[in-house]
Structure 1
């Protein structure tokens, strides 16, 4: 469970985050949606202790990330390619992650098999450094790196960016299967409203750093309300 209390962040006169209280429950597939500047990435970065809030607290299963490193055993994330070590090949990078996490190479190799379809024959066995991969394939490496540890919480910022339509559809199936098999809590932000609606069980609508609506979405029931919001916002 992730609990947010009185979380605030300003950049000059701009309010990037102002969330009095918000709880993300175990097993939620939470989609964050909002226009540019709504505060989605800022919120993720504060949850991951990559950005210090001006006020407030994030609590991850009883741990304040700003005060302890123990939360890192429970959370995996991919925000952007800055998370990658681009002078390694994908295989070297995954092996490095396995060593850092104490995962035997045999276990890593077995888990990687589930992502072969998503990788599409363009990530594994190519003998390319990550820096020389296309933007879409770098994105795949980052997403796989977040899922491979099978942590209770996974955070993905704009995971559908740079992916072709086939890969986007495979990713949606992969995330649904991953959630079903691991019962993980998954947080996703995306500009693609339809993808978010299709995979999320719950959707938080952000506007200027504020969560203005918290919608249940078990049967895509949030679709009409979200479509109306973005239509009116044009």
Structure 2
């Protein structure tokens, strides 16, 4: 369960986020919808302790995220391509993330089989570095890396942006299956209400 308590964030005395109270139950897919600049990414950055709140706090499974790192082993995220390691190939990056989560290469190779449709033969085995992939393919690699190791909490910022309509449909199906099968709590942001309503509870 994720809870928010009197959370605010200001930059140069300009308030960009004000969230008094929020509870996201375990195993739910939760959507944040809003225009660009509405504070969606700011909230995710606070949840991941990438920035500090001006006031208030967030707890992830009763752990205050800006006071302890105990939430990190069961939490995973893809916010943007800065989360990727550009000088690695997708395979190298997946193996690296797998190693962090206690998985070997065979585990990762097996795990990646389910994403063949999403990868559309454009990502694996191409001997390309992540930095040389298109924005859409970087996003695919980032999203899949966030699913490695069955994390209990998954945070995806604008996962449908830069993806073609067919891949968007495949990703929605994947996310819907994910919460049914693994009981993960998934947080998704989008400026498109349609995308969010199709995958969120």
Q: Is TM more than 0.5 here? A: yes
Contact 2:101–2:148 at 8 Å: present in 1 too? no
Residues 5 and 20, structure 1, Cα contact 8 Å, conserved in 2: yes
CA RMSD of aligned residues (A): 1.0
In structure 2, distance between residues paired with 1:165 and 1:149: 27
Q: Is the CA contact 1:47–1:65 (under 8 Å) kept in the aligned structure 2? A: yes
Query: Residue deviations 1:46-68, cap 9 Å, x none?
Result: 00000100111111111112222
Q: 4+ residue runs of structure 1 moved beyond 6 angstroms?
A: none
| Aligned twin of 2:188 | 188
- The answer (yes or no) to whether the contact 1:76–1:149 under 8 Å persists in 2 is no
Count of residues in Structure 1 that have an aligned counterpart in Structure 2: 201
**Could you list the per-position Cα deviations for residues 149-206 of structure 1 after superposition, in whole angstroms to 9, with x for gaps in the alignment?**
21111000000111011111110001011111111111000112211111111xxxxx
- Contact between 1:27 and 1:179, CA under 8 Å: does it hold in 2? yes
Q: Report matched runs for 1:11-90 at 5 Å.
A: 11-90=11-90
> Aligned partners of 1:97 and 1:130: how far apart in 2?
14
Q: State the TM-score, normalized to the length of structure 2.
A: 0.97
Tell me the residue number matched to 1:139. 139
CA distance in structure 1 between the aligned counterparts of 2:77 and 2:149, rounded to whole angstroms: 10
Specify the alignment match of 1:94 in structure 2: 94
What is the SS of the residue equivalent to 1:52? Answer: coil
TM-score scaled by length of structure 1: 0.84
User: What secondary structure, in the 3-state scheme, does the structure 1 residue paired with 2:100 have?
Assistant: helix
User: Which is higher, the Rg of structure 1 or of structure 2?
Assistant: 1
Shift of the alpha carbon at 1:92? 0.3
Unaligned runs of 5+ in 1: 202-234
